[in-house]
């Protein structure tokens, strides 16, 4: 029994990517928590992650800067909410480091993400549960290519570990 | 050295109540974390707290229902972010249980609160650091009577412990 809260999926507000991958949980964990690793897989190509900061504790910074093929930049600064080694990571864009609320325009599909890495044979049952503040944000995020994008990033993560 | 993040105060966004009280940290902690105690002091009279739910873990519910003298009700559901026994409590109204983002109208002065209870002689240095998402929310909360209200509630907390 885990003491952690796993909220049920609300199909109106949430997006979920769940897949088994054939690399073990502790390597998936490393790929998510070490900036030099995360930068290698976090953005589906041709975008890349030009910068990453991780202070892995509740309230600690989680910042990524993503750069597009035409020089566009997306700078996201959020914080970690839960850190359970090799098992579970929760982060959000609603708050900056120290749990400080961020003033986010209504049009931005900000979210909280609960990542779980469950052992499955020699691999991992990988799950990303992404919760939005309203149905429009969920739909926007989906239309931006959530499933394709997060799926491609996961492929890159697995390839990095193997390669 | 605490491993916890204490963000600096931003005077444009934050409100702070800091006071020494002559009751020890572990009793202040109990007053904040046991619903039957919290209900006795949380609202400055003539308002009262008609309901309180506390699931004291990160992501766990923190709900209070406050009732005014004319039957008005204010129902606030948020969650805890950090729970460090007798020392530190962090909670927010930006998220509901399980860290789920809440869709809060721009006019509502939602916040994250960092409470610290530091030993000071036989008493406690009590500090509430309340962080808002924008300057309007801070000003609105201040105009709603933050200092008087949180101060009166603290007086009631101390009186409850002593009496």
Q: State the 10-residue block means of pLDDT for chain A, 163 residues long.
A: 80 98 98 98 94 97 96 95 97 98 92 98 98 97 95 98 96
Best CA proximity match to B130, nearest among B15, B18, B17: B15
Q: Which is it for strands B14-21 and A123-132: parallel, antiparallel or unpaired?
A: unpaired
The CB density around residue A1, as the number of other CB atoms within 10 Å, is 3
d(CA A147, CA B154): 49
Whether residue A76 contacts residue A63, with contact meaning beta carbons closer than 8 Å, is answered with yes
Mean pLDDT of B108-122: 97
The CA R_g of chain A, rounded to the nearest whole Å, is: 15
Q: What residues contact B50, with CB distance under 8 A and at least 6 apart?
A: B39, B65, B66, B67, B73
Instruction: Tell me what pLDDT residue B5 has.
Output: 84
Tell me which of A95, A105, A140 to substitute to probe the interface with B (most B C-beta atoms closer than 10 Å): A95
Kindly report the pTM of this predicted structure: 0.95
Nearest to B101 among A4, A5, A131 (CB): A131
Residue of A nearest to B105 (CA): A106
Q: Does B110 sit within 8 Å of A92, measured CB to CB?
A: no
Inter-chain residue contact A4 with B94, CB threshold 8 Å: no
Report pLDDT for B2.
52
Pick the closest to residue A81 from A54, A112, A59 (CA basis).
Answer: A59
Q: Which of A76, A27, A33, A32 is nearest to A51 (CA)?
A: A76
Beta bridge partners of A113: A91, A130
ipTM reported for the complex, 2 dp: 0.94
Closest approach of chain B CAs to the CA of A139, in angstroms? 15
Asked if residue B60 lies in contact with residue B79, where contact means CB atoms within 8 angstroms, the answer is yes
Which of helix, strand or coil describes residue B90?
A: strand
B114 three-class SS: strand
Sheet holding B123-132, edge to edge: B14-21, B123-132, B111-120, B88-92, B73-84, B61-67, B48-54
- What is the CATH class of A16-162? alpha beta
- Which of chain B's residues have a Cβ under 8 Å away from the Cβ of A133? 101-104
Map residue B94 onto helix, strand or coil: coil
Neighboring chain A residues of B81 at a CB cutoff of 8 Å: 58-59, 81, 99
* Interchain CB distance below 8 Å, A98 and B5: yes
Q: How far is CA A74 from CA A47, A49, A61, A148, B18, in A?
A: 10, 9, 16, 18, 38
Let me know if domain B15-162 sits in CATH 3.20.20.30.
Answer: no
Interface test with A, best of B3, B4, B5 (most A CBs within 10 A): B5
The half-sphere exposure of A132 on its side-chain side, counting CA atoms within 13 A, is 21
Inspect the interface and report whether the beta carbons of B101 and A132 lie closer than 8 Å. Answer: yes
- Point out the residue among B5, B57, B132 whose CB comes nearest to the CB of A101: B132
Least CB-CB distance to B98: which of A5, A58, A111?
Answer: A5
Q: With a CB-CB cutoff of 8 Å, which residues 3-62 of chain B face chain A?
A: 3-7, 10, 13, 57-60
pLDDT, tens only, B25-78: 999 999 999 999 999 999 999 999 999 999 999 999 999 999 999 999 999 999
Residues in chain B: 163
Identify the closest residue of chain A to B109 by CA–CA distance: A101
Backbone torsions φ then ψ of A39, nearest 5 degrees: -60, -25
Looking at the partner chain, which of A3, A101, A110 has a beta carbon nearest the beta carbon of B110? A101
Contacts of A13 in chain B (CB under 8 A): 100
Let me know: does B66 contact B74? Beta carbons within 8 Å. yes
Question: What local confidence, expressed as pLDDT, does residue A106 receive?
Answer: 86
- Whether B79 contacts B62, CB under 8 Å: yes
Share of chain B above pLDDT 70, in %: 98
The Cα–Cα gap between A58 and A35 comes to 17
CA distance B163 to chain A (A): 35
Cross-chain Cβ contact B99/A5 below 8 Å: yes
pLDDT value at position B1?
A: 40
Q: A94–B90: do the CB atoms touch at under 8 Å? A: no
Please give the mean pLDDT across all residues of chain B. 95
Taking CA–CA distances from B60, the nearest residue in chain A reads A5
Strands A61-67 and A73-84: antiparallel
Q: Could you give the CA distance from residue B162 to residue B27 in angstroms, rounded to a whole number?
A: 10
Question: Three-state SS for B119?
Answer: strand
């Amino acid at each position: 029994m885990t003491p952690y809260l796993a909220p049920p999926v609300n199909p109106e507000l949430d997006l979920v990517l769940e897949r088994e991958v054939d690399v073990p949980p502790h390597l998936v964990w490393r790929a998510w928590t070490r900036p030099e690793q995360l930068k290698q897989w976090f953005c589906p190509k041709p975008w890349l992650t030009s910068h990453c900061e991780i202070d892995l504790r509740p309230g600690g910074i989680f910042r990524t800067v993503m750069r597009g093929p035409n020089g566009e930049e997306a700078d996201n600064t959020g914080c970690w909410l839960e850190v359970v080694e090799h098992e579970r990571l929760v982060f959000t864009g609603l708050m900056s480091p120290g749990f400080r609320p961020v003033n986010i325009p209504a049009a931005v599909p900000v979210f909280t993400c609960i990542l779980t890495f469950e052992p499955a044979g020699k691999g991992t049952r990988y799950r990303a549960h992404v919760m939005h503040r309203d149905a429009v944000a969920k739909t926007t995020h989906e239309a931006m290519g959530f499933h394709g994008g997060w799926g491609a990033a996961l492929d890159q993560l697995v390839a990095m570990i193997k390669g």
